[in-house]
Amino acid sequence: MQTIKTLVIEIFLYATLLSACAAQTNAQSVATLSVTGEVTTPLELKIQDLAAMKQIARKVKDRDGKEHEFKGVALIEILQKAGVTTGAKLRGENLTKYALITAADGYKVLYALAEIDPEFTDQVILLATEKDGQPLPAGEGPFRIITPNDKKPARWIREVRSIKIAFARN
């Protein structure tokens, strides 16, 4: 009797754990990233959309000096897909544009377009979806910005939900 009871409890706990894992995986695969503002084509990207784009990897050190390899898509490619002024078009007043990036927890960071464009810099800013060969976990992913040349990781914004392109105004 006792063993049957134990077995029933075990099966119940196992099923609960399985459904919790499935729910988390699902939340990660349905989370979207919107690209709006000064764009010709607003985007609503899922992790599957990014997986279909060119993948690049960068090794960086976290705030504790530990090395990690992040993999994903170059942020510039996302901006190009949305029709943001890049390359030859990134001149004149377009140089006053920025990307304001917002996370699920309300954290925000800003990059000037010229910081992202390969005609201005050799640094490749990543919209990462993997860390050390694994999808980014809840709380960090599914999308995270990695800026290899920043000396501290404060702009490596986790849980990115939106990128808004705008003109700086004064």
Ligand X SMILES: Nc1nc2c(c(=O)[nH]1)N[C@H]1C(S)=C(S)[C@@H](COP(=O)(O)O)O[C@H]1N2
Our finding on whether 63 is near ligand X (CB under 6 A) is: yes
Minimum distance from residue 60 beta carbon to ligand X (Å) = 10
Minimum distance from residue 154 beta carbon to Mo ion (Å) = 5
Nearer to ligand X, 44 or 62 (CB): 62
Minimum distance from residue 155 beta carbon to ligand X (Å) = 7
Q: Which residues bind Mo ion (CB under 5 A)?
A: 154
Our finding on whether 107 is near ligand X (CB under 6 A) is: yes
Instruction: Give the DSSP letter string of the chain.
Output: -HHHHHHHHHHHHHHHHHHHHHHHHHHHHH--EEEEES-SS-EEE-HHHHHTSPPEEEEEE-TTS-EEEEEEEEHHHHHHHHT---GGG--GGGGGEEEEEEETTS-EEEEEHHHH-TTT-S---EEEEEETTEEPPTTT-S-EEE-TT-SSGGG--SSEEEEEEEE---
Minimum distance from residue 136 beta carbon to Mo ion (Å) = 18
**Cβ atoms 10, 2 nearer than 8 A:** no
Our finding on whether 97 is near ligand X (CB under 6 A) is: no
Our finding on whether 153 is near ligand X (CB under 6 A) is: yes
Tokens 């949305």 sit on residue? 82
Nearer to ligand X, 45 or 145 (CB): 145
Our finding on whether 148 is near ligand X (CB under 6 A) is: no
Out of 58, 71, 97, 158, name the contact with ligand X by CB under 6 A: 158
Out of 9, 10, 23, 62, name the contact with ligand X by CB under 6 A: 62
Tokens 């976290």 sit on residue? 62
Task: Report the interface residues with ligand X, using CB under 6 A.
Answer: 62-63, 103, 105, 107, 153-154, 156-159
